Structure 1
Amino acid sequence: MIIDLSDTTVSQVAKQLEKVREDGGAVALGRVLTLIIAAGSGVAEAAIVAANDASREHPMRVIVVTTTEGTARLDAQIRVGGDAGASEVVVLRAYGDAASNAESLVTGLLLPDAPVVVWWPDEAPTDAAASPLGRMAQRRITDAATTTDVRDRLSLLGRTHSPGDTDLAWTRLTHWREQLAAVLDQPPFEPVTAVEVRGAAASPSTALLAAWLQMALDVPVSWSYEHPDDWQEGIKSVRLSRASGDILLERPSAAVAILTQPGQPDHELHLPRRTVRECLAEELRRLDADLLYGRVITEGWSHLGPPERGE
């Protein structure tokens, strides 16, 4: 069910939500958090689809805030039932001066006594934790992959990092980190002497993986950005050098990786690029600070040398 409210107020939107619940169209009980999506109009619908999918694991209220120029006005839309997954979705389109105070737009719509998470699926503020929406949230989610200059964005994230910040470029690394940790947890238990990471030019995950490996293994790490193949947008390969030979985890196609180890047959692994929905759902599983990400984006990134090749 979709309810449109034109030239409205936050108070009227809240009253309509209450009426929907009273009429049996939606139930607030069981909602575990409020997710605020601050998105440009061009990506708002895709972000809602990802949030709706993630809500099947994390029932929540989703508040989408888009702002644009024009005569001061607030339009809203309430989506429940089949149009909202396991969520209640409130879309706020603020025009002109009505968009000047994002915090006041959402305060009256937050679930009582529930954590708040803010997600910027495209352009994020310079300092997420200090922004009007970020100050309200326990967790703040950005995505460095949406920026044009990856290295500048990662440096900014490191300088402005506060506990509770995270980035989907880091979340996309979960399966890579799991696979590499599993390999190193098997004999022979030799120290890694050098690491090489390769990835596409627009992939901030490449740099974050290199920074994590340098921190975790305390060895030199070389990394390079390369022109992507037709399918490739993320990491291409990781090579770990040990006395008995190199371990190579390489992704030659969009969904498959090949693990090569000395004295063993090659193993084919399912390792596709993770979807936004998967990454968002993972981030919503924990509402405490991601301490490892904090160390990687601050200490790890600042100590990582420059890539061997630019674009």
Structure 2
Amino acid sequence: MTRRILLTGSNGLLGQKLVALLHAHPDVELVATSRGPNKLAALYPQVPFTTLDVTDRAQVEQVLGAARPTHLIHTAAMTNVDECELNQAACWAQNVTAVENLVAVCAELNIHLIHVSTDFVFSGEAGPLAEDAVPAPVNFYGQSKLAAEQVVQAGAAKWAIVRTVLVYGTAHEYGRTNIVLWVRDSLRAGKSIQVVDDQFRTPTLAEDLAQGCWLVAAHEASGIYHISSSELLTPYQMARQVAEYFNLDQGLIQRVDASTFTQPARRPARTGFIITKAQQQLGYRPHSFRQGIALLAQQAEGGAKNV
């Protein structure tokens, strides 16, 4: 069965990994969309690309109506947690209004909507969490993503929600760093870094998240799926693993708690996911964090392209 998949946010980290995964798949016709110019044009010239601002209902109707996908994987979002706290109107437009637009048009055109969400819909009091845990966000980003989930669930379109945790990876012309490269680069430069040891996450390799989204589409799955690794780690523990892998000075890593930092948005203390449902129903198999470090090292230092 051929699936015609439209991606939103194809310039982002997850979007780029999905293009890399799906562009040559024999059972997929891929259409990439993003708000800005196509960053992947030189890498994947064969992938059709359309500019799309998902906050614009008319554009959503026009682009989806022309593309007629069977599935839409919605990765576009405002994800900087502090920016969301400080610019709540922009956050709501990008994370909720956009989803209202997509849900309405997907229902009209019978498109299976796969919506990417976050562990930040939870309070952080009781991780790791299964799909039926009760959301209670502690910041505006989490509130916006929970509102978007509720829009998806209340809509008439066929839907699946893929929640994820602390995504890391490398991407082409991607300005934001990640914990692996930040720790590696800081320690190589001889810089001392402060890393929290009182927040718990199950960090997610971007390639694993892309695979999870594809498995949901391939299985025509519906409902909520938790997609992450299965290792519950603190950022401090992650940093120690990075230092060990690259044979760098772990003495430069200062163990602190979250109260050390002043940030506009609260962070949930303990999230992380139980991924049994995705493993059993979808055949999802994530990398370990050490394997993820090795893949990033290969990509960043060996010149590998989206391995």
Q: TM-score range by the shorter chain?
A: 0.3 to 0.5
Larger radius of gyration: 1
Structure-1-length-normalised TM-score: 0.38
Higher normalized contact order (CA 8 Å, seq sep 6+, divided by chain length) = 2
Which structure's residues are more often helix, by fraction? 2
